[in-house]
Structure 1
Amino acid sequence: MPFLSNINCAMPSGNFYPFNVPSFKNGIKLSLPSNVTFFVGENGSGKSTLLESIAEKIGFNLEGGNRNHNLNTGVGINGNQNALTQYIQLTWTPRIINKGFFMRAESFFNFASYIDEIAKNDPKPNEFYEAYGGKSLHHQSHGESFLALFNNQFQAGIYILDEPEAALSPARILSFMSMIHQLEQSGRAQFIIATHSPMLLCYPKATIFNFDEQGIKKVKYTETEHYQLTKNFLENPQVYFRHLFKED
């Protein structure tokens, strides 16, 4: 059974960001029946905004990390960096989980730099880096650093991930899916992931929420645009090329 079972939010009055994002127009009422949940949708559809607000509500820093990582990122509206956070209501079963990690691909560089700063003041930096793959995340390739973080930091708790596939090759995405499977099958971990990856989306028995102008709706994997467009393109790329590269 997932730790976080429901996400609800009634939108305040006023036509301002992020409450004017079309996918939020009917409010937010999501039930999470499985340990792996995906948020999908076009850029700007609101999936990362909602993901951030969940992470901040739990107590994670929005630059990334667990509750003990304190990157100095400033404070926004009503003490929150994400304006949606104060309106979000989270329902936990059976108890509130404060262990886990928030990871966002776009701020991973800042997080890696923050870890290096901590290591400088650690009396045993080599041992400190064991928790991050044995060396600075900056001294690993982008994909290697992502997997080093996943394999060493992900053990038990709730993991909020924004486009974790960004630096991963197809083979590394499969490795990541294997890691997710081991943790979520143990009943010790729950994952909420915003992604554009059709490979990652096909994770067995995952719950998928699609964000678009009609709101947020639970969908099947084969109903996602990510699956349909990728499948159609790979089956007949020339059809797309004729349209994309046509002469004016």
Structure 2
Amino acid sequence: MSIYDRGAYLRSMTLLREEVPSFGRYPFHLPVVAAMERLDFHPKVTYIIGENGMGKSTLLEALAVALGFNAEGGTLNFNFSTAETHSELYRYLRPVRGAQRARDGFFFRAESYYNLATQIDALDREPGFTPPIINSYGGKSLHMMSHGESFFATFMNRFGGRGLYILDEPEAALSPYRQMAMLSRIHELVEQHSQFIISTHSPILMAYPDSKIYQLTSEGMQEVALEETDHYVIMKEFLNNRERMLGELFSAE
């Protein structure tokens, strides 16, 4: 049996290439989309990484929407829109699910997390919401915390295990210490039969050992080891050779 069949809620994602209207327009012209046929997911943790502009967030957003999540984040029960900005890519994706169904799920998107927090507060002000939604996030309005604290409140309180969690740049407001704590939380949830798909720039978050890393480049997508990622190589080089690299960065051309 393939590792992708054991306990995976989401086994793969296929692009319906024959139905794509044109690979010459956004988002289909992005190298990751233009070269895609099928993307296999690790049953525990899959990382989607790459430089800015490579299409990581576009890909994760399309996957989440294809699975029924709101484009701006939240659980499958959220249905709000601050701005209709998501691409049509989701219409051409076919997720292949595993035999088991997740009991929990969440699309975490750092870019629109403020909108999600605002929506939770708004819903809790309406009559009929008992108990309040915010109780699932720790009981305190996410707007009443620092950005990083509110992120972590969701990770610690709302993620309940046996879930499929899609995270787009969850490290955006987290210190290095909190990123390590997040890695520990990911492990706790994996041990509770959860599956993660994560877009990140953080070498710390990429370090989960039982995982699969896809690196997006101008040529498309390739599977790599942590030590082969640009993020790891550049960070290691900078820390080990800080003075030389600063000299190169600050030198006049």
TM-score by length of 1: 0.91
Aligned partners of 1:57, 1:4: CA distance in 2, in Å? 12
Tell me whether 1:199 sits opposite 2:204 in the alignment.
yes
What are the superposed Cα offsets for residues 36-88 of structure 1, whole Å, 9 maximum, x if unpaired? 11000011101111101110011110111011112134657xxxx42111111
What's 1:42 paired with? Answer: 51
Alignment match of 1:68 (pick from 77, 92, 95): 77
Q: Which has the higher mean CA deviation after the structures are superposed, 147-156 or 157-166?
A: 147-156
Checking the alignment, whether the CA contact within 8 Å between 1:105 and 1:162 is kept in structure 2 is yes
Aligned partners of 1:91, 1:205: CA distance in 2, in Å? 21
Aligned partners of 2:31, 2:143: CA distance in 1, in Å? 38
* Paired positions, count: 243
Tell me whether 1:3 sits opposite 2:12 in the alignment.
no
Give ranges in structure 2 of 5+ residues lacking alignment.
1-6
What's 2:248 paired with? Answer: 243
The SS at the match of 1:94 is coil
What's 1:158 paired with? Answer: 164
The equivalences for 1:14-93 within 5 A come to: 14-73=23-82, 81-93=86-98
Alignment match of 1:119 (pick from 95, 116, 124): 124
Deviation at 1:7, TM superposition (A): 1.3
Aligned partners of 2:122, 2:152: CA distance in 1, in Å? 21
TM-score by length of 2: 0.90
Aligned partners of 1:128, 1:16: CA distance in 2, in Å? 40
- Work out the percentage of aligned pairs sharing the same amino acid: 42
Tell me whether 1:183 sits opposite 2:189 in the alignment.
yes
- Provide closer, same or farther for how the CA distance between residues 112 and 214 of structure 1 changes in structure 2, counting only shifts above 3 A: same
Deviation at 1:159, TM superposition (A): 0.6
Checking the alignment, whether the CA contact within 8 Å between 1:58 and 1:98 is kept in structure 2 is no
The equivalences for 1:99-114 within 5 A come to: 99-114=104-119
Checking the alignment, whether the CA contact within 8 Å between 1:4 and 1:92 is kept in structure 2 is yes
RMSD: 1.9
Aligned partners of 1:112, 1:54: CA distance in 2, in Å? 22
- Provide closer, same or farther for how the CA distance between residues 124 and 68 of structure 1 changes in structure 2, counting only shifts above 3 A: closer
What are the superposed Cα offsets for residues 214-236 of structure 1, whole Å, 9 maximum, x if unpaired? 21111111110000000000001
Give ranges in structure 1 of 5+ residues lacking alignment.
none
Checking the alignment, whether the CA contact within 8 Å between 2:16 and 2:94 is kept in structure 1 is no
Aligned partners of 1:51, 1:98: CA distance in 2, in Å? 20
Alignment match of 2:141 (pick from 136, 155, 158): 136
